[in-house]
Amino acid sequence: MKFKVDESACIGCGACTCICDKVFEMSDDGYAVAKDEKVTDKETLDEATEAMEGCPTSAITEQKED
Ligand code: F3S
Protein backbone atom coordinates (compact mmCIF):
# COMPACT_ATOMS: atom_id res chain seq x y z
CA MET A 1 0.00 0.00 0.00
CA LYS A 2 1.16 3.50 -0.82
CA PHE A 3 -0.34 6.76 0.32
CA LYS A 4 -0.76 10.04 -1.50
CA VAL A 5 -1.38 13.60 -0.34
CA ASP A 6 -3.42 15.96 -2.49
CA GLU A 7 -1.46 19.16 -2.01
CA SER A 8 -4.35 21.28 -3.20
CA ALA A 9 -6.45 19.94 -0.30
CA CYS A 10 -3.75 19.88 2.39
CA ILE A 11 -3.83 22.88 4.75
CA GLY A 12 -0.48 22.02 6.28
CA CYS A 13 -1.76 21.27 9.76
CA GLY A 14 0.94 18.64 10.25
CA ALA A 15 -1.27 16.09 11.98
CA CYS A 16 -0.34 13.30 9.59
CA THR A 17 3.38 13.79 10.17
CA CYS A 18 2.84 13.69 13.94
CA ILE A 19 0.87 10.45 13.73
CA CYS A 20 3.06 8.72 11.14
CA ASP A 21 6.39 10.32 10.30
CA LYS A 22 7.55 7.10 8.68
CA VAL A 23 5.24 7.81 5.75
CA PHE A 24 4.41 11.53 5.82
CA GLU A 25 6.76 14.48 5.90
CA MET A 26 6.34 18.22 5.45
CA SER A 27 7.69 19.74 2.26
CA ASP A 28 9.47 23.07 2.13
CA ASP A 29 6.20 24.52 0.82
CA GLY A 30 4.48 23.67 4.10
CA TYR A 31 2.38 20.83 2.75
CA ALA A 32 2.59 17.16 3.58
CA VAL A 33 3.97 14.65 1.14
CA ALA A 34 3.83 10.88 1.36
CA LYS A 35 7.08 9.05 0.83
CA ASP A 36 7.01 7.11 -2.39
CA GLU A 37 7.54 3.76 -0.72
CA LYS A 38 5.28 0.80 -0.29
CA VAL A 39 4.12 0.44 3.29
CA THR A 40 4.30 -3.22 4.19
CA ASP A 41 4.58 -3.60 7.94
CA LYS A 42 1.33 -3.62 9.87
CA GLU A 43 2.30 -1.08 12.51
CA THR A 44 3.21 1.54 9.93
CA LEU A 45 0.14 0.72 7.88
CA ASP A 46 -2.07 1.22 10.94
CA GLU A 47 -0.40 4.55 11.73
CA ALA A 48 -0.66 5.78 8.16
CA THR A 49 -4.31 4.74 7.99
CA GLU A 50 -4.99 6.58 11.25
CA ALA A 51 -3.29 9.66 9.78
CA MET A 52 -5.36 9.37 6.61
CA GLU A 53 -8.60 9.09 8.57
CA GLY A 54 -7.60 11.96 10.86
CA CYS A 55 -6.72 14.45 8.17
CA PRO A 56 -9.13 17.38 8.60
CA THR A 57 -9.45 17.96 4.87
CA SER A 58 -9.36 14.33 3.71
CA ALA A 59 -6.30 15.15 1.62
CA ILE A 60 -4.76 11.70 2.06
CA THR A 61 -5.77 8.75 -0.08
CA GLU A 62 -4.57 5.18 -0.47
CA GLN A 63 -2.99 4.07 -3.69
CA LYS A 64 -4.03 0.58 -4.61
CA GLU A 65 -1.28 -1.80 -5.60
CA ASP A 66 -0.87 -2.55 -9.29
FE1 F3S B 1 -2.15 18.15 5.29
FE2 F3S B 1 -3.96 16.55 6.20
FE3 F3S B 1 -1.49 16.13 6.77
S4 F3S B 1 -4.14 18.76 6.02
S5 F3S B 1 -0.53 18.14 6.81
S6 F3S B 1 -2.39 16.03 4.75
S7 F3S B 1 -3.19 15.84 8.14
Among protein residues, the one whose CA lies closest to atom 3 of ligand 1: 16
SS3 33: strand
At 34-60, the pLDDT tens digits run 999 999 999 999 999 999 999 999 999
7 CB less than 6 Å from ligand 1? Answer: no
pLDDT at 64: 79
Percent of the chain with pLDDT over 90: 94
Residue 66 binned pLDDT confidence (cut-offs 50, 70, 90):
low
SS3 55: coil
Among protein residues, the one whose CA lies closest to atom 4 of ligand 1: 10
**Which phi and psi angles does 52 have, rounded to 5°?**
-60, -45
Indicate the pTM of the whole model.
0.94
H/E/C letters for each residue in 4-29?
EECCCCCCCCCHHHHHCCCCEEECCC
Amino acid identity at 2: K
**Mean local confidence (pLDDT), 6-28:** 98
Q: Which of 3, 4, 5, 21 to mutate to test the pocket of ligand 1 (most atoms within 8 A of CB)?
A: 5
58 CB less than 6 Å from ligand 1? Answer: no
Residue 19 binned pLDDT confidence (cut-offs 50, 70, 90):
very high
